[in-house]
Amino acid sequence: MDADVDVEEVSAQLYGLPPDRFTEARDEQAARARKAGDQQAAKTIAGLRRPTLAAFASNLLVRERPRETAALLELGRALREAHQALHGPQLRELSHRQHGVVSELARTARQLAGEAGSAVSDTVLREVEQTLHAALADPDAAEQWASGRLSRALEPPVGFTGLPPVEPGPRPERAPAPDAPPPPSGTPAPARVDARRLARLERARQAARETGDEAEAREGELRAAVEEQERCEEAAAEAEEHLAEAERRLREVREAQRSAREAVVRSAARVRDLERAAKQARRAADAAAARLGELSPG
């Protein structure tokens, strides 16, 4: 008989587990859904990805520290609003706050994960910090993090997302400048001053172009490295899932082997018992036949 399975509830339970317990628990839940006749739920549950350690620590922080989670989400909203309004003083104040909040929450996540039996390295700690920065910068990332069901760490965007571009306003008309007094003796001619200023301006533009190109190149390398890291994490998670599945099948095969051996032992004991019974019956039959022969007239 078909029965509806609450996938949301199952998912919430699974992503509260340490990564090393996730795969086996997920497969058990998927098997229960199949047994209950809810094939769609079974397919959805079986497709849930095993969380990385950084994702688990981030999820644990959301689950165990709801007040701090709400405070970080509120700080993110305030940061994005200040950035959109181009409110410099407020933006500087909030930006200063976010670094302290992120560091403190990341350390809390590390402690919670350790208490749950999962040690967090410095590399994983940085991934947790990146996830928190992403939740501050991007509302979609904030929603994903606040769900407590991350399967991998989040990457903060370059700058804030979803903000309208700042359109340059009209330049105010400037009153004509009064006639400049003649330069005093020994002052460089205006043409020379303008040439020097233009030369400095050109050098600054060239430096800006070069540093901009360098920044874009490094950002491109960073994006490629992040993508490569994500591919490696996915490959590692997939390999771990295959390993867990192979271990589960091995346990099933060993259980079947143990049951078969026990059946062989029971069968052998029964064969021995039947052999003894058959011999006894044959001896009894032979004795009865002999007595019958003795009693029969010659």
| Angstrom distance (rounded) from CA 86 to CA 90 | 9
Decide if pLDDT at 167 tops 50: no
Q: How confident is the model over 239-277, as pLDDT tens digits?
A: 766 787 788 778 888 888 888 888 889 888 989 999 899
**Residue showing tokens 């560091």:** 103
Which pLDDT band, with edges at 50, 70 and 90, does 164 fall under?
very low
Q: How far is CA 191 from CA 18, 56, 194, in A?
A: 72, 66, 5
| Angstrom distance (rounded) from CA 296 to CA 104 | 107
Decide if pLDDT at 2 tops 70: no
Q: How confident is the model over 3-13, as pLDDT tens digits?
A: 678 999 999 99
Most confident of 179-183, 206-210, 289-293: 289-293
| Angstrom distance (rounded) from CA 58 to CA 67 | 14
Decide if pLDDT at 102 tops 80: yes
CB 120 within 8 A of CB 128: yes
CB 53 within 8 A of CB 112: no
Predicted local confidence at residue 249, as pLDDT: 79
Residue 140 has phi, psi (to 5 degrees) of: -65, -45
Predicted local confidence at residue 172, as pLDDT: 42
Tokens of 159: 């700058």
**Residue showing tokens 């400049």:** 180
Largest CA distance in the chain: 168
Name which of 8-12, 143-147, 190-194 the model is least confident about: 190-194
Q: How confident is the model over 20-33, as pLDDT tens digits?
A: 999 999 999 999 99
Predicted local confidence at residue 263, as pLDDT: 87
CB 47 within 8 A of CB 94: no
Neighbours of 82 (CB within 10 A): 19
Query: For the chain, where are the alpha helices, taking DSSP H only?
Result: 7-14, 19-35, 39-46, 53-64, 66-85, 88-115, 122-137, 139-146, 190-295
Q: How far is CA 230 from CA 2, 13, 52, 147, 242, in A?
A: 38, 25, 11, 21, 18
